[in-house]
Structure 1
Amino acid sequence: MRNDHAPCTIFPPKCQPPSDHQAETHLKMAEQGLTNEAAAAACKEGNPITKDFMMQQTMLRVKDPVKSLDFYTRILGMTLLQKFDFPPMRFSLYFLGYEDKKEIPGDVKERTAWTFSRRATIELTHNWGSETDDSQSYHSGNSDPRGFGHIGIAVPDVYAACKLFEENGVTFVKKPDDGKMKGLAFIQDPDGYWIEILSPNNMVSITS
């Protein structure tokens, strides 16, 4: 969606300069981040209409769907839930997630509704022709200008998962015993997007 709004220069109602309290809060954040109390205070009760909202998908643009589908299914163990093609606009969408193949409906319309009711899916977007365009690549968000960081995959055993990744030539950003945070890893998918590999139980000690 385009944003054609010009920057605020005369402080209309929704663009007021920060109050003294806000300025003080920003100064503290620059030194130590938010306190637990400040973080809790910043969160507000959602409108009742949001009760059934859920996190459904994260979209990643990919250069070569053959490489990406192989990586997310064979290496990470996801299932292709559904594929959508849009010939007039020359792109395809591939939805993947951790679902049992046996539960995928046979009817196309039912499958579509089912796919969009799954939690935490990955939507891979392929713009046709990018796979043979040497000038085409995508920004992972982890180099300047930074933005998007990574997705995270929970596994029973980080070390066993990383052994599998090593055997399959996966690129590592961080291995489990690198750095100060032991027991978690970061790998890259074929387009360079970062993926955190974590074990829920290990995160207790890592975040303490």
Structure 2
Amino acid sequence: MTGATLDYFEPEGGAVLTTLLIVRDVDRSREFYERVLGATCVRERQPCILRFRNSYIVINTEGGPTDDKPTVQARAPQDSGTLSCAMNIRVTDVRATYDEWRSRGGEFLTEPKDHGMEIRCYLQDPDGYLIEVGQGTGILEMVGRAPR
């Protein structure tokens, strides 16, 4: 096991937070996250695990209940216009990230918008999961840090 994946399988400090996405097509989703966001595939399937900078995205297919969740169905979003879960990615330069990910085929809902406390924009993955990309601005002054 490489050092890059060791923290997923054996978390330093006892835990690592990941995002699980239930998708219709693992290959399509893996390709999107690798191509657009620049994630690195750690495991191909069951589940697919992608390293994204200092975190992980776990991708798995739809399915029925399992012995450890006997009443739960795993389903991808049915409607990309209804928000039930979103990834929130904080970056140091939202406009540069927007330009880079658009050049890789990412389709954003709008360009970055300045909301005073932060500048943010959104894109959706192939299954309709919303991905917020934001840069703290005024919020940094509130917590005692000047923006970079």
| Residue 163 (structure 1) shift | 1.4
Is the Cα contact below 8 Å between 2:87 and 2:130 reproduced in 1? yes
| Contact 1:97–1:120 (8 Å) recurs in 2 | yes
Runs of 4+ in 1 over 3 A off after TM superposition: 139-142, 178-182, 205-208
| CA deviations over 1:97-151 (Å, ceiling 9, x no partner) | 136xxxxxxxxxxxxxxxxxxx6311100249xxxxxxx95247862xx532x11
Structure 2 CA distance for aligned equivalents of residues 206 and 191 of structure 1: 36
1:147 equivalent to 2:51? Answer no
Which one has more relative contact order, counting CA pairs under 8 Å at least 6 apart?
Answer: 2
- Structure 1 residues without counterparts, runs of 5 or longer: 1-51, 85-91, 100-118, 129-135
Runs of at least 5 residues in structure 2 that lack an aligned partner in the other structure? 1-12, 64-74, 144-148
Contact 1:176 1:182 in 2 (8 A): no
Report the CA distance between 1:189 and its aligned residue.
0.8
Native 8 Å contact 2:118 2:138 kept in 1: no
Decide whether aligned partners of structure 1 residues 163 and 83 sit closer, same or farther in structure 2, where only a CA change above 3 A counts.
same
- The TM-score normalised by the length of structure 2 is 0.62
1:196 and 1:168 map into 2 onto residues whose CA distance is: 17
Q: Which has the higher helix share?
A: 1
Counterpart of 1:162 in structure 2: which amino acid?
Y
Q: Partners of 2:42 and 2:107 in 1: how far apart?
A: 26
| Overall identity of the aligned pairs, in % | 26
CA spacing shift, 1:72–1:54, aligned 2, 3 Å: same
- For these two proteins, the number of residue pairs brought into alignment is 120
Question: What is the CA RMSD across the aligned residues, in angstroms?
Answer: 3.3
Letter in 1 for 2:77: Y
Code of the residue aligned with 1:95 in structure 2: it is I
Q: Report the more deviating stretch, 170-179 or 72-81.
A: 170-179
> The residue matched to 1:156 in structure 2 has which SS?
coil
Name the one with the larger strand percent: 2
How far did 1:68 drift?
1.1
**TM-score, normalisation: structure 1:** 0.46
| Contact 2:117/2:138 (8 A) holds in 1 | no
* In 2: Cα distance, 1:173 partner to 1:181 partner: 20
Task: Give secondary structure in 2 for the equivalent of 1:151.
Answer: strand
Paired position in structure 2 for 1:167: 103
Which residue does 1:57 correspond to in 2? 18
CA contact (8 A) 1:80 1:95 kept: yes
Does the Cα contact within 8 Å between 1:73 and 1:79 map onto a contact in 2?
yes
